[in-house]
Amino acid sequence: MRGERVTERSRPDLEIKDLHVQVEDKVILKGVNLGISKGEIHALMGPNGSGKSTLANVLMGNPFYQVVKGDVLYKGEDLLAMAPDERARKGLFIAFQYPVAIPGVTMSSFLRTAVSARRGYQTELIPVSEFQKILRAKIEELKMEPSITGRYVNEGFSGGEKKRAEILQMALLEPQIAIMDETDSGLDIDSVKIVADGVNRMFAAAGGQMGILVITHYSRILHFIKPHHVHVIFDGRLVVSGSSELAEELERTGYEGIKSQVDIIRTEVAESGAVRRAGKVFWVEH
Partner 1 sequence: MATTNPLGIDLEHYKWGFRDPVDKYVFTARKGLDADVVNQISHMKSEPDWMRAYRLHAYDHFRQRPIPTWGADLTQIDFDEIYYYLKPVEEKGRTWEDVPQDIKRTFDRLGIPEAEKKWLAGVGAQYESESVYHNLKEEWEKLGVIFLDTDTALKKHPDIFREYFGTVVPPEDNKLAALNSAVWSGGSFVYVPEGVRVDIPLQAYFRINAEKAGQFERTLIICEPGSYVHYVEGCTAPIYTSDALHAAVVEIIVKEGARCRYTTIQNWSTNTYNLVTKRAVAYRDATMEWVDGNIGSKLTVKYPSVYMVEPGAKAEILSVAYAGKGQHQDPGGKVIHAAPHTQSSVISKSISKDGGRAGYRGLVKVYPGAVGSKCAVRCDALILDEYSRSDTYPTNEIEEEDVSITHEATVSKVSDEQLFYLMARGIKADEAMGMIVRGFIEPITKELPLEYAVELNRLIALEMEGSVG
- Find the binding residues for partner 1 in span 97-136 (CB under 8 A): 99-100, 102-105, 109-110, 113-114, 117-118
Q: Count interface residues toward partner 1 (CB under 8 A).
A: 30
Q: Does 234 bind partner 1 (CB under 8 A)?
A: no
Of 38 and 118, nearer to partner 1 (C-beta) is 118
Binds partner 1 by CB under 8 A, chosen from 6, 68, 83, 278 = 83
Question: What character string, x for contact with partner 1 (CB under 8 A) and - otherwise, covers 165-194?
Answer: ----x---x---------------------
Closest distance to partner 1 from the beta carbon of 92 (Å):
9
CB-CB contact of 181 with 94 (8 Å): yes
In 10 A of CB 52, how many CB atoms?
A: 24
Give the shortest CB-171-to-partner 1 separation in angstroms: 13
Question: Per-residue x/- mask for partner 1, residues 55 to 74, rule CB under 8 A?
Answer: -----xxxxx----------
- Within 28-47, which residues bind partner 1 (CB under 8 A)? none
Minimum distance from CB of 128 to partner 1 (Å)? Answer: 14
CB of 13 or CB of 249, closer to partner 1:
13
Least distance to partner 1, CB of residue 113, Å: 6
- Shortest Cβ 150–partner 1 spacing (Å): 11
Rank residues 101 and 278 by Cβ distance to partner 1 and give the closer one: 101
Exposure b/e, 220-243, CB count within 10 A at least 16 = b? bbbbbbebebbbbbbebbbbbbbe
Supply the minimum distance, in Å, between the C-beta of residue 45 and partner 1: 23
- Site residues (CB under 8 A) for partner 1? 60-64, 83-85, 87-89, 93-94, 96, 99-100, 102-105, 109-110, 113-114, 117-118, 152-153, 169, 173
